[in-house]
Every structure is written in C-alpha cells, then in structure tokens.
Chains A and B, each alone.
Chain A
Amino acid sequence: MVRTLVGTRIRERRRALKRTQTSLAQAVGISPSYLNLIEHNRRGIAGRTLIALAAELNVDPSELAEGADGVLVNHLINLAKSHESTPETTRTEEFIGRYPGWARLLASLGHTAQAQRESLAAMTDRLNHDPFLSETMHQILSNITVIRSTAGILDTTPDISEDHRARFLKNIRSESQRLSATAQSMVDFFDAPQSTDTPSPSNLHQEDVFWDKHGYFLPDLENGTTTVDTLLADHPAPTATTSNGLRNHLLRYQTVCQKLPLAPFQAALRKHPGAPLTLAHMFDVPLPDVLFRLAHLPASPDIPSYGLIEVDMSGAVNIRKELPEFALPQFSSACPLWPVYRAFGAPAQAIRAVLEMPTGVQVTSFTIATAQATDQYDMPAFLHASMAFTTDTRAAIDPKPQPVLVGLHCSVCPRKQCDLRRVDYILS
C-alpha cells in the first residue's frame, strides 16, 4: 500500500483552504522556508508544530501524522541517487511500508558511510592545512630548495672557485642534516600515540568549512529571512556532533546579533575599534558577546578584522576564526601563554595584551573568562574563555604594552628556552 507523506498532506490541505505558506507558517510560529521544507518532506514533523498545523488546517493531528516517514523516504532516495546501482526509487514508500526495519537499517548504513567519507575528506584536508604540518613542510621545502639550487650550481659551473665550492658544499651538508633531523622529527610526531584531547578535529573542520563559505557573516539570519534549521539543512553535517556544534554556534550568532544589531554596532566599532569593553558598556551586553560579534561582521575596510577563539576549561576549542597572520589550533592545545588560557586563573577579568608570534607578527588581543553556574549541588561552575584578536593597528592599545612572546604550539615554536615548553621543537 502506498501512503501519502505527511508533508504532502499538509501541502494539499493548505492549498485546499487557499492559504499561503507564509500565512500558515506565521500562524504556527515557524518560518515559511521551514514550512516549505516540511511540505516537501525534507523535514520531519511532530509534537507542538504538528498539533498547531493540524489546528490551523482544521484536521485531526493523527490525519496528518499517519503514514510513512517523509525524511526516511527522502534519505533513501538520496542514497539511491548517490549510488551506481538503480533501485526502484518510485517504490520507496512501498518498501518502507513493507520492511520498515530494513529501511531504517539501510538508511543508517548510508548515513554511516557518508559520515566516514566526510571524515576521510576532513582528515585528508587536515594533512594539507594543519598549521603544524604546514610549518614542517615549509621547513622541508626550504631545505630542499637550497640543496637543489646549490647542487645545480656545482653541477653547471665547472670553473667555480674553490672558495665558492667549499661554501656551497658546506651549505648542502648543513641543509641535509637539517632535512634529516626534521624528517626524523616528523616520523616521531606521527609515531607518537595520538593525543586524547583531540576528539573532533573533523567536526571543527566541518564548521570551519561552513563559516569560511559564509565569511563569518549571515545577513539572512540576522534579518530573519532564514532560520538556523534552513541553514543547517543546506549544509548537512556528517555526524550528530558536528551538527550540534554548528547549531550551537548558529544559535549563539542569532542571539548575539539580536543584542548587537549590525549597523549600530559597526558605527560604534568605527569610533572605538580597539575598545570592546567600551562597546560592551554602550550596548549593555557582556564582554564575550562583543568579542563574538567582532569576529562575525562583514569585511569592511573601515573597521578592523578580528579573529576569535573560544575554549572551555578543559582547553578544548569550541569556536575558532583564524586570521591569515595568526593561525589557531584545530586541536585543543595551543601555547599556554595565550591569555585565553591565563584568563581561567582570573575569571571575569578583562585582559588586553599584545601577543608576538615567533614570526614577529603582533596581534592585539582582548580576553575574558566567564563562569556559568550550575543548578546542581557539588558541580563546578562551567568556565568558558573568549579571546578576540586583530593585527589592525587601529585597535592598538595605547600606550602599547610589552608584547607577550608566544607561539602557536610547542612543536612548531622556536623559542627553545621557554619555561613552559611541553614538547620538543619539531623543526631543526
């Protein structure tokens, strides 16, 4: 028996009553785009929304809910489309009706396969873009450049002076030694047991992909013409963890944008480009909201571009936005000298500091750790730290404080005398 889908029934009933999607959506408190997804069976529906829709459509909720699961149908059809074989997609509903357990199992296997493909892609991409590996490859390629170029000179210059020959041979030897040592360090790095504090680099990577695509600015979400659910529907996550992380980030964005509307905030930022605490007072919001908002603005030449890192008290990175000049760890651990970790020692204290990387790049940073109380006995407060940073000199601190000499991570930090070094410098 072929049954009509829930979304289809809602659409037919709405049309019969000559109601628009917009009016129906408004009546039940959801966005028209979300109703559209429901009507095309791309979103499941239950609970309050189903009851509210049924009431608006003057039908019993059971009349709408009865039938095959539209999300499952679409999932199986999409699964079929992504495969070389050609299952009978026109009979998908019948298949689900006859073999619901097998249908769910098939959908689950398809979801798992998709998640594994995404994870593999993320890990492959990480090998290409991980800042630690990137630094290492930069060193190796520099060594190879010297060896190749110098060997080429020796090979094509038979009348080279003894002085030059000796110097070039010495250069090749020293670069070869550095190359060997770096290669050995790299092997050791990969041979070492993987840290247990890196549970979800691929999840953060997936979020990075989303935010990079949108430039950390979502005008449609800010002005209410789209919803978090619609954005998530357009960017399906490979795992539930990824989906939750992205959803939380989007919900936070929505909340902060309501407190700090774009135009007034940009106007205030133009006047106070390096004073987030002043902005917090002006808008009467907590400093973390301002730091978050600074990193979620459209690119504009008249305001500084800010990066952001938010970590919890375990050091795990929850939100990150890199700047081209200031990389952030995809893993949880970065340089312990970063104020974002120091802030846990002084919760609620706004910290401003100039950080200097080993490359000489300096950023102005603003940091604060906040505590969230729990409603249970004997549970610690949940601490959370935010650090916004920029290389823009318009945000410089006046008078300029002594820069804090930091790195990205010990393994790629050449400050060999640092008292806080945890692991050896991977490069020679």
Chain B
Amino acid sequence: MAGTVLLIEDEPNIVEALTFLLEREGWRVVSHSNGQDAATVAAQVMPDVIILDVMLPNKSGIEILTEIRANSTTRQRPVLMLTAKGQARDRAAAKDAGVSVFMTKPFSNQAIIDTVKTLSQ
C-alpha cells in the first residue's frame, strides 16, 4: 500500500472519483465531508497526505488548515488544497496558512495522482 490519504471534501461525486483514482494507485483513502471536526479527524487518522477542499460546511478549508498547522501531531503533514474558485484571495490565504500545494478545479486525474505521490515522498 502506498500510504493513507485523508480526503476532506463535501461533494460526494468528487469523493467517489478521487477515492477510486487513489485506491487504484494503491492508496488507502479516508474521506470526511464536515469541516467542523476535520482537523480532529486528521490528528486521529495521521494520513501521509491531506487533500482539503476550500469550501466546506461549517468551517472553511483555510480555517481547517490553520488548525492542522497549529496541532503538533499534524503540523508537518502535507496538505493539497482544492478550490473551484481559484481566486487570488484564496491562494494568498492558503499560502499564509501553510498550504503545501494549491490546485484549482477542474483538475486532471494524473495531476492529482502525481501531486499526491510527490507530497508523500
């Protein structure tokens, strides 16, 4: 097994597609759709890579990323952020919060796989 990916995303069809893609590449995928306790889940799962959507119910991806970086157990975990907005403001906020890689939807399947591989190394 390549490792564990925590997928924090609220669009079920995106979760299904990404889960299939990553599992096909040998990753174990844990998905979570609620922003409220996402950082807590990250600390429990301790994934090799976190894929995090910017817009989530109850808490934004930026807030979750800030919490992940503030927690000593998850501080070093690589985080790939996804957004459908691609606005400069989102990018700047994500960078300030400590994002590893920022990708804009729609993304190519290969780009996601390559990025997760790179981040896990």
Q: A138, B55: Cβ atoms under 8 Å?
A: yes
A130-174 interface (Cβ within 8 A of B): 134, 137-139, 141-142, 144-146, 148-150, 152-153, 156-157, 164, 167-168, 171, 174
Q: For residue B16, which residues in chain A have a CB less than 8 angstroms away from its CB?
A: 150, 167-168, 171
Residues of A within 8 A of B89 (CB): 324
Contacts of A360 in B (CB 8 A): 35-36, 57-59
Q: Is the contact region of chain B dominated by helix, strand, or loop, or is it mixed?
A: loop
Roughly how many angstroms separate A361 CA and B57 CA in the complex, as a whole number? 8
Partner of B17, one of A139, A149, A324, A325: A149
Set of chain A residues within 8 Å of B13, measured between Cβ atoms: 146, 150, 171, 174-175
- Number of A-B residue pairs, CB cutoff 8 Å, is 76
Interface status of A359 (Cβ within 8 A of chain B) = yes
Q: How long is the Cα–Cα vector from A157 to B108 in the complex, in angstroms?
A: 15
- Shortest CB–CB separation between residue B30 and chain A, in angstroms? 19
Which residues in B have their C-beta under 8 angstroms from that of A150? Answer: 13, 16-17
CB within 8 Å for A141 and B57 given contacts A153-B20, A171-B13, A171-B16 = no
CB 8 Å contact bits of B75-96 with A (1 = contact, 0 = none): 0000000001101010001000
Per the CB 8 Å criterion, the residue count for chain B at the interface is: 28
Convert B9-38 into 0s and 1s, putting 1 for each residue whose CB lies closer than 8 angstroms to a CB of A: 001011011101100100000000001100
Interface SS, A side: helix
Interface residues of A in 164-222 (CB under 8 A from B): 164, 167-168, 171, 174-175
User: With the chains together, A139 CA to B87 CA distance in Å?
Assistant: 14
Q: Does B109 contact A (CB under 8 A)?
A: yes
Q: Which residue of A lies closest to B54 (CB)?
A: A138
Complex-state Cα separation, A137 to B86, whole angstroms: 10
By the criterion CB–CB under 8 Å, are A137 and B84 in contact? yes
Query: Which of chain A's residues have a CB closer than 8 A to the CB of B58?
Result: 359-361
- Give Cα distance in the complex from A325 to B106, angstroms: 23
Question: Could you say which of B36, B59, B105 has the most chain A C-beta atoms within 10 Å of its C-beta?
Answer: B105
Specify the chain B residue showing the minimal Cβ separation from A141. Answer: B84
Q: Is B60 engaged at the interface, CB distance under 8 Å to the other chain?
A: yes
Other-chain contact of B55, A174, A175, A359 (Cβ < 8 Å): A359
Asked if A141 and B105 sit within 8 Å, CB to CB, the answer is yes
State in angstroms the CA–CA spacing of A153 and B22 once bound together.
Answer: 11
Most buried by A among B21, B36, B62, B93: B21
List the A side residues contacting B107 at CB < 8 Å. 145, 149
Instruction: Select which of A129, A134, A142 is within 8 A of B11 by beta carbon.
Output: A142
Knowing A145-B107, A146-B14, A171-B13, say if A164 contacts B20 (CB, 8 Å). yes
Which residues of B are in contact with A by a Cβ distance under 8 Å? Answer: 11, 13-14, 16-18, 20-21, 24, 35-36, 55-60, 62, 84-85, 87, 89, 93, 105-109
Given contacts A146-B14, A359-B55, A360-B35, 11 further A-B contacts (CB under 8 A): A134-B87, A138-B85, A141-B106, A142-B84, A145-B14, A149-B14, A149-B109, A150-B16, A171-B17, A359-B56, A360-B57
